[in-house]
Chains A and B, each alone.
Chain A
Amino acid sequence: MRTQVPNILGVMILIFFAAFPFVYSAGNYDYVMHILIIGFFYAIMASSWSMLAGYAGQFSFGHMGFMGIGSYTTALLLHYVHFSPEPTKLCTEFQFGETWMIFVNPIGVTSTSLTQDCLRQAMQIWDGSVAVTDVPVWFGVILGTLLGGLAGFLIGLLVLRLRAAYLALFTLGFAEIIKATISAEIHITRGQAGMETPALFENGVTLFGQVYSRTDKLPPYFVFFFALLFCLAILTWLSRSKFGLFVRALREDQDAAAALGVNTTRYKIMVFVVTTSMAGLAGALQAHYVGIVTPNALFLLQMSLVVAMAVIGGVENFVAAALGAIIIQVLLELLRTQIEIGPIVIDMTVWRLVIFGVLLMVTLRFTSNGLIAPIIDYFYRGHIGKETVAKRAKPTNEAEAN
């Protein structure tokens, strides 16, 4: 029964989040929903990073880089690739049957020679007589996920021989390169100006007879919620399979695992591919939710936030890491307030990060596996010690009885 407690709590948390958008009525609905959506985004990032770092021991600090690959993949794809029944005769274009795939020319942010890209010019000429189709958002999200995984595969190959601090520095360098490249390629990526992206449901969506517009929060809430559940389901399945066993052995002792027949290369690369795909998915979804992608999202500070969320939740338990991310995100927002103690007014907007930092330090000092994971462990493993003692005493008791 005791081991069922985390499962029962898990189901209750699921029901809570599934019902929340329908029952919440305390005001600031959109704002509260936005906080939770961002919480789900960080939960995907933190839980996937927990699998990479906590389970497999691969302390990568490039997770935001993979997220950025997901974001920019879908943003670039949807910005530059379009379909039309007619050729523009201005753009680079390829014919597939009766459809033309059009690649828009990059014009950067402030082109002096061009104010419109080739497609806009063609559309002006067509004057609405030719329908131009965009790449579907879901396709951009899938491609972003796949390219995040592909980048993870390549990085996984490169870091095979790197461990601990060297791996962390390498992946940190990778994320910075991604950020620097995006910032530098203003011509294509628009640099710090960012690229606008269509909403997840650009034309709105109808759910259970209710019509939701592109700016309504409920549809993206459930998109992120189900994406998180999807990621957690995959991570749970993997952690209970051979994969989970082997990547934990990899974390404990790579050489010993190899000496026992584990193909450490394969599992090291696999864990990179799986977790970076999830980072790519989170990035692609966020790009369409926020409506703009900028290299600022790839800041080291953001990576630190993901790491801190996972550490406070429990880095060796991806469910705890996900819960930690949501709770920290909500707490950080709740602390955006002012506290008045007599004549003293404390602006918590600044101090909240100090509180967050102190919480992180206290967690690391006193509970290395976070604040939530030990509670889950208590229910799953709290009885093990007593059982061991009982089993050890059993042969003695039997001998005495004889």
Chain B
Amino acid sequence: MINLQVKNLNKSFGGQRVLKDVCFDINGPELIGLIGPNGAGKTTLTNILDGALKPNSGTVYLNDERIDQYKPYEIARAGLGRTFQVTRSFRRMTVLENLYVPALAVGNEQDRKIVHDKSMEVLEFLTMDHLCNEHAQALSGGQQKLLELGRLLMLDPDVIILDEPFAGVHPKLMEVIYEYIRRVNDDGKAIVIISHQMDAIFSLAQRLLVLDHGTIIADGPPDEVKKDQVVIEAYLGVDEDEEENDAAASSGA
């Protein structure tokens, strides 16, 4: 059973507190949307979860293993993988080599033939098998996003954090990414999606975490979070017509 426990995470840069007592749990193969305005601390939280940053205080447990002081590669091997907001493929390596890296790094599959076959399966799923020998730098932005997702499939982590997976992606490729997320989630992986594309988040996520000024201000099913007054004020914004009606009603009163 997948279990990620984030307890009282705090992070400051200089005098500025970027994360304030952030707490949440992931139990089982949940599909979670992490949303929040720019500067809310989403990327900092992700960087702490993947080990690129160390928290000032607080703990992170993954499947009962404390990982908040681990190095990034140790966290990847412990079972937490991520993609980056700006795609970070290995540009001068082939698509296949990009997939070989996580497979050989985690050491589950040392046999090159098995790794190759698995990589081709992943590429077929991502509709990129014809590009297997191309250098990653020859791919479009959307294809590079898919390649990053493919690398995660090869890493095979329990918890996957997708940082802006839909940004700048062609609608046709977005369907592939939707399919990817649903299928990987059905395979028993917990997925956290960070995105500003509300339509995508609301159609995919079973649970929403809302981060604002370094604090989790809402945690629950999307329908409930959508109606949360604090979230509306902080992030989703108030409907202008509704606001005018409210103002008219209050002035009439």
Contact = CB atoms under 8 A, between A and B. Distances in A.
Given A259-B52, A259-B81, A261-B155, A245 B101 contact: yes
Interface in A367-398: 381, 384-385, 387-388, 391-392, 394
Q: Tell me the dominant secondary structure on chain A's binding face.
A: helix
Contact of B92 (A245, A248, A265, A391): A248
A161 to B, nearest CB: 13
Given A249-B90, A255-B52, A260 B101 contact: yes
B47 to A, nearest CB: 9
Contact of B76 (A249, A251, A258, A391): A258
Contacts of A124: none
Given A259-B52, A260-B81, A261-B155, A253 B133 contact: no
Interface of A: 242, 245-246, 248-249, 251-253, 255-265, 316, 381, 384-385, 387-388, 391-392, 394
Nearest to B152: A260
Given A245-B104, A249-B101, A257-B101, A263 B130 contact: no
B93 A249 contact: yes
Interface of B: 50-52, 71-73, 76-77, 81-82, 84, 88-93, 97, 100-102, 104-106, 129-131, 133-134, 151, 155
Contact of B102 (A261, A264, A385, A392): A261
Contact of A262 (B73, B131, B133): B73
30 contacts: A245-B93, A246-B105, A251-B92, A252-B90, A252-B92, A252-B93, A253-B89, A253-B90, A255-B52, A255-B88, A256-B90, A258-B73, A259-B50, A259-B73, A259-B76, A259-B84, A260-B73, A260-B76, A260-B151, A261-B76, A261-B102, A261-B106, A262-B73, A262-B101, A262-B105, A263-B71, A264-B73, A384-B133, A384-B134, A388-B133
Given A258-B52, A258-B72, A384-B134, 14 more contacts: A245-B93, A246-B105, A248-B97, A252-B91, A257-B105, A258-B71, A258-B76, A259-B52, A259-B73, A261-B155, A264-B73, A381-B133, A391-B129, A392-B130
A249 B133 CA distance: 16
B130 A388 contact: yes
Contacts of A385: 134
Nearest to A316: B92
A362 B158 CA distance: 50
Nearest to A251: B92
A353 to B, nearest CB: 31
B156 to A, nearest CB: 10
A261 B77 contact: yes
Nearest to A384: B133
Contact of B105 (A260, A388, A394): A260
Nearest to B83: A259
Contacts of A260: 73, 76, 81, 101-102, 105, 151, 155
Q: Taking each of A248, A256, A265, which has the highest tally of chain B beta carbons within 10 Å of its own beta carbon? A: A256
B203 to A, nearest CB: 27
A249 B104 CA distance: 12
Contacts of A387: 133
Contacts of A265: 71
Given A258-B71, A260-B81, A248 B102 contact: no
B163 to A, nearest CB: 11
A249 B101 CA distance: 8
A256 B88 contact: yes
Contacts of A252: 89-93
A261 B90 contact: no
Contact of B73 (A261, A388, A391): A261
